[in-house]
Structures are given as C-alpha cells and as structure tokens.
Chains A and B, each alone.
Chain A
Amino acid sequence: MAGNNPNSKPMNLTLKVWRQKNSQATGKLETYNIKNISPEMSFLEMMDVLNEDLLLQGIDPVAFDHDCREGICGMCSLYINGRAHGPERGTTTCQLHMRKFSDGDTITIEPWRAGPFPILKDLCTDRSALDRIQQAGGYISVNTGGVPDANEIPIPKSIADKAFDAATCIQCGACVAACKNGSAMLFTSAKVSQLALLPQGKVERKTRVENMVAQMDKEGFGACTNIGSCAAECPVGISLENIAMLNREYINASFTSENV
C-alpha cells in the first residue's frame, strides 16, 4: 500500500485505541496491530484502514469524528500519543501524516477528555457545549435591507488582521482537550475578541462577553491558569493574547455594563 514515493516504505504499527460503547459505559484501551501503512496516508486514512481490517474480523469499527479532511471544518479530534491532534504543531488530525511516525511505533489514541465533552462512542465526543457558548453571544445583530457598500466602515488594517486571526478558530476543542484545567477560555476568547475588535461587534460587546463567560462557566469548563498549552496545541494558531483580551473585556463589562 506504499504511496507513489518510491522511498516511502510501508509501516507496521501497534495502536492502542480507546473503545467505549456509549456515554454511560466504561471504556478501555484496546490494542490492534496494523500492517502496510503508507507514510503518505493521513492519520484518518490510517484509521479507515484499521476499520476495514476490524470489519473483516467481525469487530465493531472504531467510531471517530471527521468531516472535511482538509483541516478547515474542526470536526476531527483525537488525542494522539499524549497530544491534541497528534505530535505535529499547527495541524488538525486529518492533516497529520503517517510519515510523522516510524515503523514499529506504538500509538495511543484517546478521545478529548473533559466533563463538558461527553464521549458518545469510542473516540467521538459531544462538543455542543462550545455551540451553546457561541449561541450565548457570539453573533452580531444586523438589520435586513439593502446591501451595505463594501468598506463603508473604515477598520484599521492591524485591527482587521487581529479580528481575522481570532476568526480562524474552527471550534475543534483541542484547547479544552490540551488544557490541564479543561478550560474553554481560548475558544471563548477567540470568539469574543473577533467580534469586540470590529465596529459591527462593538454594539453588543459588553452583554456578549458577560453572557458567553456565564455560559462557559455553566457548561462546567475549568478556569484558565495561563499555562499556554491551548495555544501551543491549537491547529490554527489562536494566540493566548485573546485570553488577555477576554479578561479585559469581561472586567470592563462587569463594572460598566447596564446589566445589574
């Protein structure tokens, strides 16, 4: 199954995969041996090969989250060898290639672990807690009607860049998975910063940050201790500076908003 590159030799690997029937069941790591894996494959393609093997053996295939497989949708997850989205920085699991591993390696694959992300089955987690944080205030209210002219509202380039950087968050939840405290502050801060930086988002900025932080706490996420593992593991490179901005926005809103 080696790919087109004549130098790439197929690999044999030992996988330790978390298997769990449903959210109530207790799971455990199962060991599977997998042969002839091309280094050109993505990690998820390797998982597909594993599942084909398991099906042939009459074993229930491993459930894992995936969708676009292009690194943009934020659906894939997996805690691979002790790291969210695997050992390579700045990539999602679907963009992680098997060439990053060596023949004979043992790879431990676990789901995101956090109370607010219950395991649905095997490696699939329910990350809708992040959706509910977003719904609590991660939007702007606009009137319908005629389409406004482009660039009608001037925005300094540096601000637009910062907002865009924050907006690249794909809501995969790696920040929560990597955080020792299971905190969702990098996610929440990216959403709050993105909107608070732009004129259209400033209208609701105080209520937004208050509601989103309240929802974040209500979902049971931990509190940030500025360790920085979230930003280090983030596949799209959301900066820790956003958390400072979230704190700033929240402190300001707490003392100056009209919500008593």
Chain B
Amino acid sequence: MSWFSKTFSSSIGRKLLVAVTGLFLCSFLVVHLVGNLQLFKGDGGASFNIYSHFMATNPIIRTMEIVLVLGFVFHIYEALVLTRRNKSVRTVAYAYNRPQDNSNWSSRNMGLLGTVILVFLIIHLYNFFWRARFGEPNMIDIEGTGYDDLYSVVVQSFHIWWYVLIYVLGQIALGYHLYHGFSSSFHTLGLNHKKYTPAIQKFGAFFSFVVPAGFAAMPLYFFIKDVILS
C-alpha cells in the first residue's frame, strides 16, 4: 500500500477527511445563507431571481457545484466507514450505561443528526434545486430581461405548514451537528492551543446557532407574514 492510501485509510486519515470536508461544507453554508438573504429584500423577488439566475449560469459557480457535491460525498462516505468500524468494536452493549454523565448528546449523535440533515437535503434539493434546474418555473420580466420566477416557488412552498416544519427541524439538526462538528474539526486537524482553542469553541457555538437560525428564519418569515398574519 502506498503511503498515501495507507494514510487515508487509517482511522486518523479518514477523520481528517471528514473534518476537512466538514469545514468546506461550513463555508458553503455561509455563501448559501448570505445569498438567500435576498429573500428578505421586499422587492417582489427581483434581486433573488437575478441572484439565482447568476448561481445557475456562472461557470465558476457551476464548477464549484461539482466540488460541493464531492465534498458531501466524501464527508458522508468517510463518516459511514468510520461509523461502521466504530459500531463493530462493541458487539455486546453495556447493560447499564450512563454516557450523559461524561459527554454531550450532540457529540454522541453526529451520525443520527447527519442522517436527519441528509433527508432534509434530499427534500430540499428536490423542491428547489431540481425544479430550478430541470423544471419550468414561470418566467418573470425584470428590467426587460426574462428570469425564472424561483422567488414565487420558494414563497409558495413556505406557505405550506408541514414544509415549514421540515425546514425548521432540518435546521435544528444542523445546529446540533455544527455545535459539535465545527470545533471538533479543528481538533481533528490537530489545531489545538490554549491561545486560540477557546476562541474556536466560542465561534463554533455562535456559528452553530446563527447559521441554522438564519436559514430557519426564511420559511418562518413567509409563513408568519403571509399565512398567520393575513
């Protein structure tokens, strides 16, 4: 076995891949959140539709889309391999176990949280990405140019209560996943020092709240504004 495959098939090497792809996916979350904040502009969706047109056609974005898919694939695959390995270590479970006395719930349930996020992601992709790319939404005229009216697709989806619920639950799972995952990634990369580790942990806690809260605010905003208050 070459040194390269030996490294990345070892337990630490695989952890490293999960950590690196996890942090890359965190950077995607930031871009996705900032872009989608256009939904709140109150201009009838003009800037959101221009933005989503740019995301669907720009060659750099399209290339990064492939990298992003690879990021998800590696993150999930490596985590699955590690989880299978870890599950096989203790074949006889403790009759009486109190892990809550020594660790956080979220840190022990990353696989469960990740699965919830994956299910959410599939629903989310089917509803928006699939329809934006392969469906035929209504065209809308913005300053003389025709755009796909994705804004209406989004807003109408967020008028359905169970759809809003799926989104909020997905974001809660994401929050807990990030709460452990963000700072844990730095630990796996070996980046641990009394000078900056406390800052990473604080930022991780902040990040794990702000990002999912920002995403959850979108369905909640349209549901409260258009359904509850009207």
Contacts and interface: CB of A to CB of B under 8 A. Distances in A.
Interface string A73-106: 0000001011100010000000000000000000
Contacts, number: 140
A116 B92 CA distance: 12
Question: Interface residues of B: mostly helix, strand, loop or mixed?
Answer: helix
B3 interface: yes
Interface residues on A, range: 35 or more
A182 B190 contact: no
Contacts of A217: 10-11
A222 interface: yes
Contacts of A241: 192
B15 interface: yes
A255 B3 CA distance: 8
A180 B91 CA distance: 12
B97 to A, nearest CB: 5
Contact of B90 (A113, A214, A229): A113
Interface stretch (B102-110, B122-130, B210-218): B102-110
Contact of A226 (B6, B13, B90, B184): B184
A115 B88 contact: yes
**Most chain-A Cβ atoms within 10 A of its Cβ — which of B12, B99, B103?**
B12
A224 interface: yes
A114 interface: yes
Contact of A244 (B6, B16, B190): B190
Nearest to A108: B96
A223 interface: yes
Given A81-B98, A232-B103, A115 B187 contact: no
- 10 closest A-B pairs (Cβ-Cβ)? A248-B190, A182-B89, A82-B98, A244-B192, A181-B86, A223-B11, A232-B102, A222-B86, A247-B190, A108-B96
Interface of A: 16, 18, 29, 79, 81-83, 87, 108, 110, 113-116, 178, 180-183, 185, 213-214, 216-217, 220-229, 232-233, 240-241, 243-252, 254-255, 259-260
